[in-house]
């Protein structure tokens, strides 16, 4: 890609030009007033580093582990729905870029490429994210398919029992593939690169579902099925049943409160993700980084604490690690890269974050990511109030 692309914001601007409006908006928006969506990002900007000088900055290392898996830096690609609508075969391309970068890729239940599609395209295990559906047999089959594909961790999302109102998605008539209305047709005509890619792939709908649920085979039937399937009855007993069925590491996503974090520890899960679903569920909830310190303090010695939400740079990754996260997940940054340039765009995203993380760690006086704690931050005696 163009060497002048040096920030995640550069990738975002390119993606906005190249990706059809409904799919760009799906990526780059939140629920209701989007206050939590904005806070996720802006609250990172209120945290300051302590610059240190006259220290040895040679032989630096970002290597660590996430959920027992060696990673080149404390970062994973988050599960994002309809990734394959940002760019043709998007999940496959992102998984390849993550594998080459030495970080985990997480496939969403609501992906365009199926579990089997991705498994056939990469050589190392990836992670799978599960939405809890009313159809219990479908849940079980998804878990079994993930195990058969060699997925090395299961991410169970807990904060989507009902769907937060996302005004842009409603106005755009979001669907995969897009319905050809006059407005969407006009928009698609301005995105020839995207259209050409979609014409060359057979992966244009939710392939984890189509062909695996009786009667679900086109846009209308899958929309009807999914609108009824997210189960509002999900409770901790259901989490326990999934824990029993899945034999590998279990990660619980969507924890935003200390009481829920304590309950998560009791399930026997290996990790939790401090997350507000990228500001796409409960608008008015706190940012992920705002609650990370209190959750890490409460349960970090008993369960691995990860986080997502608002990460737009390697500096944000370092701030999260300093405040108690073992690692972070990124969603929008890699989607911007994917929309901007396919696999090469995701690779550029990861390169940008790695470079920013490495340089910032050095300028804070450290050479090893494993040594990072709150002492690299100003007002580290009370990091939560710094927000």
Catalytic residue list = 277
Tokens of 142: 């998804």
Give the ranges where 47-181 is alpha helix by DSSP (H). 90-101, 115-119, 136-148, 167-172
Peptide bond into 177 cis (omega under 30): yes
Judge contact between 8 and 313, C-beta under 8 A.
Answer: yes
The H or E element spanning position 321 is helix 314-322
Give the pairing type, strands 69-71 and 64-66: antiparallel
- 380: CB partners within 8 A, 6+ apart: 50, 322, 374
Judge contact between 383 and 45, C-beta under 8 A.
Answer: no
């Amino acid at each position: 890609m163009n060497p002048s692309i040096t920030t995640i914001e550069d990738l975002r601007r390119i993606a906005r030009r190249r990706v059809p409006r409904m799919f760009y908006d799906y990526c780059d928006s939140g629920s209701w007033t989007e206050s939590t969506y904005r806070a996720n990002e802006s609250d990172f900007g209120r945290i300051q580093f302590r610059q240190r000088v006259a220290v040895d900055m040679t032989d630096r290392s970002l290597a660590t582990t996430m959920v027992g898996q060696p990673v080149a830096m404390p970062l994973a690609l988050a599960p994002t729905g309809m990734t394959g609508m940002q760019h043709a075969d998007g999940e496959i391309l992102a998984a390849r870029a993550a594998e080459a970068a030495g970080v985990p890729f997480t496939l969403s239940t609501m992906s365009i490429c199926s579990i089997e599609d991705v498994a056939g395209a990469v050589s190392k295990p990836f992670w799978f994210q599960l939405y809890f559906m009313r159809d219990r047999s479908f849940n079980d089959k998804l878990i079994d398919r993930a195990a058969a594909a060699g997925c090395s961790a299961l991410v169970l999302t807990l904060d989507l029992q009902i769907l937060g109102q996302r005004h842009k998605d409603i106005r755009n008539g979001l669907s995969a593939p897009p319905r050809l209305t006059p407005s969407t047709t006009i928009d698609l005509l301005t995105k020839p690169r995207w259209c050409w890619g979609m014409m060359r792939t057979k992966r244009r709908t939710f392939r984890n579902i189509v062909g695996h649920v009786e009667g679900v085979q086109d846009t209308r039937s899958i929309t009807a099925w999914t609108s009824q399937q997210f189960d509002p009855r999900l409770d901790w007993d259901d989490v326990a049943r999934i824990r029993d069925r899945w034999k590998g590491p279990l990660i619980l996503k969507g924890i935003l409160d200390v009481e829920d974090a304590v309950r998560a520890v009791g399930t026997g899960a290996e990790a939790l993700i401090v997350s507000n679903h990228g500001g796409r569920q409960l608008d008015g909830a706190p940012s992920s980084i705002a609650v990370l310190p209190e959750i890490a303090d409460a349960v970090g010695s008993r369960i691995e604490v990860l986080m997502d939400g608002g990460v737009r740079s390697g500096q944000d990754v370092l701030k999260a690690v300093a405040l108690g996260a073992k690692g972070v997940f990124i969603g929008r940054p890699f989607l911007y890269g994917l929309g901007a340039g396919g696999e090469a765009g995701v690779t550029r995203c990861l390169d940008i974050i790695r470079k920013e993380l490495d340089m910032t760690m050095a300028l804070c006086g450290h050479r090893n990511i494993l040594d990072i704690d709150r002492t690299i931050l100003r007002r580290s005696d009370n990091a939560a109030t710094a927000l």
